[in-house]
C-alpha cells in the first residue's frame, strides 16, 4: 500500500509542478498554445497506445466501448456544469476544462497503475516520464488561463492540489481492489479514461492550442505524439 501511495504521488505531482510553471511567469499566448499542442499530441498517443490498446488486451471490445461511452458522456456533462458555474460566478470557466480532463483521466489511469503494482508488474521509468509529458502541459495551460481570467494563485494551486490528492488516492484504491478486479473492469477503466480524454481534447485543449499557437500547433502536436509514443514503446 505504501508503494502505491509513493508511486501515485510521484505520478500525480507533475500536475502541481505544471501549475507552478504556469503561475511562475507570464507566458506568451504562443508559448502556452505550443505547450498545450505538445500535451495534446502526448495525450493522443496515450489514448491510442496505452488506454485503448491496453484495454483491448485486458478485456473485450464491448467493455472498452462501454467505458469509452461513459467516459465521454461524463466529461461532456461535467464540462457543461463547469461552464454554468463559471458563468454564474462571473469568472468564466477558463482553464477548468483542462483540470477536469486531467482529473477524469488521472483517476482511472492511476487506478490502473495501482492495480499493476499490486500484481507485481512494477513501474517503469519510461511510463512515469510519459505521464509527466502529458500532465505538465495540461496544468501549465490551465493555470495560465485561470490566472489570466483573474483567479488568484492560491485558488489555482489549491485546485490542482485537490486533483493530485484525488489521483493519488485512486492509485491506492486500485491497489486495494486489485484482487477483486477482473480484466473486463480494467478494460472499462481504460476505455473511460480514453473517452474522457478524447472529448476534452476536441472540445477544449486542441482548439485552445490552435487559437494561441496558430499553424505551429500542428507541428507541436506531432512532436508531443512522437515523444509519448517512443516512451510508450520503451515502457
Residues 58-105 have pLDDT tens digits of: 889 999 999 999 989 988 888 887 777 654 444 445 677 777 777 877
Could you tell me the residue ranges of all domains in the chain? 2-9+36-234
pLDDT interval class at 125 (50, 70, 90): low
Q: Where is mean pLDDT largest: 91-95, 192-196, 228-232?
A: 192-196
How confident is the model at residue 89, as a pLDDT?
A: 46
Quote the pLDDT of residue 121: 60
- Tens digit of pLDDT for each residue in 170-188? 888 878 876 666 788 888 8
Spatial contact of 199 and 19, defined as CB atoms under 8 Å apart: no
Q: Which residues neighbour 142 within 8 Å (Cβ) at sequence distance 6 or greater? A: 18, 19, 22, 95, 96, 98, 99, 102, 160
| pLDDT at residue 30 greater than cutoff 60 | yes
Contact 100, 200 (CB under 8 A): yes
Whole-number Å distance between alpha carbons of 121 and 131:
17
Tell which wins on pLDDT, 156 or 69: 69
User: Cell digits for 122?
Assistant: 512494477
The residue among 91 and 125 whose pLDDT is bigger is 125
Mean pLDDT of the chain: 81
Residue 220 has pLDDT above 90, yes or no: yes
Tell me the H-state helices in the chain. Answer: 2-24, 29-45, 53-58, 61-89, 96-118, 125-148, 153-177, 183-200, 206-213, 216-234
What's the pLDDT band for 223 if we cut at 50, 70, 90?
Answer: very high
Exposure class string for 101-118: b at 16+ Cβ within 10 A, else e: bbbbbbbbbbbbbbbbbb
Q: Are 15 and 139 in contact (CB under 8 A)?
A: yes
Query: Is-contact 47 169, C-beta < 8 A?
Result: no
Segment among 58-62, 117-121, 207-211 with least mean pLDDT = 117-121
C-alpha cell at 5: 501511495
Per-residue pLDDT, 136: 81
**Is pLDDT of 115 > 70?**
yes
pLDDT class of 208 with cuts at 50, 70, 90: confident
Amino acid at each position: 500500500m505504501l508503494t502505491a501511495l509513493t508511486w501515485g504521488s510521484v505520478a500525480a505531482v507533475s500536475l502541481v509542478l505544471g501549475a507552478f510553471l504556469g503561475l511562475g511567469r507570464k507566458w506568451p499566448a504562443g508559448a502556452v498554445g505550443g505547450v498545450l499542442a505538445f500535451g495534446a499530441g502526448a495525450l493522443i498517443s496515450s489514448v491510442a497506445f496505452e488506454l485503448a490498446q491496453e484495454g483491448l488486451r485486458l478485456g473485450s471490445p464491448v467493455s472498452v466501448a462501454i467505458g469509452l461511452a461513459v467516459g465521454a458522456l461524463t466529461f461532456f456533462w461535467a464540462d457543461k456544469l463547469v461552464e454554468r458555474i463559471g458563468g454564474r460566478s462571473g469568472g468564466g470557466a477558463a482553464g477548468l476544462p483542462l483540470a477536469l480532463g486531467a482529473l477524469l483521466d488521472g483517476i482511472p489511469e492511476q487506478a490502473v497503475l495501482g492495480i499493476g503494482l499490486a500484481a507485481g508488474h512494477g513501474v517503469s521509468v519510461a511510463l512515469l516520464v510519459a505521464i509527466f509529458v502529458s500532465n505538465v502541459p495540461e496544468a501549465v495551460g490551465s493555470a495560465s488561463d485561470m490566472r489570466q481570467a483573474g483567479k488568484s494563485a492560491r485558488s489555482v494551486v489549491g485546485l490542482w492540489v485537490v486533483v493530485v490528492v484525488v489521483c493519488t488516492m485512486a492509485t491506492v484504491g486500485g491497489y486495494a481492489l486489485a484482487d477483486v478486479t477482473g480484466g473486463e473492469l480494467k478494460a472499462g477503466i481504460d476505455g473511460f479514461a480514453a473517452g474522457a480524454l478524447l472529448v476534452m481534447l476536441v472540445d477544449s485543449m486542441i482548439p485552445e492550442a490552435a487559437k494561441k499557437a496558430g499553424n505551429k500547433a500542428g507541428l507541436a502536436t506531432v512532436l508531443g505524439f512522437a515523444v509519448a509514443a517512443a516512451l510508450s514503446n520503451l515502457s
